[in-house]
Structure formats: C-alpha cells, structure tokens
Amino acid sequence: MAWTCYEHVEAKLKHYGLDKYYVQHPISEQMVNFQVQQAMRNREPLLWEGWTPGWLFAVYKLGEDITFLIDPWGYHPAAAEGTVKEYGWPGATSAIAVNVRVKDEHPEAYRLLSQISISLDHHNDWVHAQVQGGVTNRRALERYAREWIENNRELVDRWLEGAGLR
C-alpha cells in the first residue's frame, strides 16, 4: 500500500506536466525511510516527499545533509488558493490542547502549558527517540523526558519563570 503522499505527488506531477518525464514508485513510508537511509549512506541523490517533524530530520540535518525544494507555484490539489506555502503544502500549526476546565481548575498547569514552545529540532529528536530509539513505553518515555529536561534546563526554567512558578 502506498503512503498518503503518493496521491499528492501524482497530482503535482500531472499539474506541472512532469508526469511525461517522471514516474513515481508507490512504496510504503517505511520503504521511503529505508531508501533515504540507503541513498545517504551511499551518497546517492534521491528525491522524496517528506515532512517535519519526523525522525529523518533528527538524523539528517536540514541545510547540511538534505534540503527542501521550493515549489514556486505552490500547487496543492486539496488546498484553497493562497493557503499553500513555498514547499507545496498548506501551513500547519501544532498546539497543546487541554480540557476547557483546566484554566480554572489547574491555573498553574495552564500557565505553564501556555509558556511552552518547542523547536522543530527538539520535536524531530523526540520522534526519532520513539520511532528509532525504542522510547515507547511509559518508563522509557519518563526517563527520556527527565533527561531532556536536564539537558534543556535553561529553556525549562524560562517556561517556569514565565508561568510564575519560579
């Protein structure tokens, strides 16, 4: 079964008339990841569609090992006109979601969560730890979180200060 980006790439190839020159190979996301690793190891060129956060971006640094191609026309088959970013996808936002009662019932937690802002590099590292590092059970996740906090103490302290907890 092909991964979900397959249809997007097919639509782009057709829209830009590139389907006359290029053929996409329908493979699983796991196989794409394998192909990327193999190409990087062998120093071979490879074009693929990916997204971040993702574990590949923890292993291969954007701007050093890999790069995003710019889509100068910003076509996306399912996006409203004007919503597509330069990489050919609508922009996305990630946020912390809580029950509406948290603000009143747990104001300290709400203030802390409101301070948290995570870099894309940290997010990529977290995905890598889970997907490739086996950090998947509660004990491993808690250990990883404690280590992350200690390694990023200055950032965490800023969150705590901003929430009025320090």
Torsion angle in degrees (nearest 10) through CA of 53, 54, 55, 59 = -70
Q: What pLDDT, on the 0 to 100 scale, is given for residue 6?
A: 82
Q: What is the pLDDT of residue 119?
A: 87
Is the separation of the CB atoms in 124 and 57 below 8 Å?
Answer: yes
Residue 159 has pLDDT above 90, yes or no: yes
With H, G, I as helix, E, B as strand and everything else as coil, classify residue 166.
Answer: coil
pLDDT digits (tens, 9 = 90+) for 19-77: 999 888 888 878 888 999 999 999 998 888 877 888 888 888 888 998 888 888 888 87
Percent of the chain with pLDDT over 90: 42
- Res. 106: pLDDT tops 70: yes
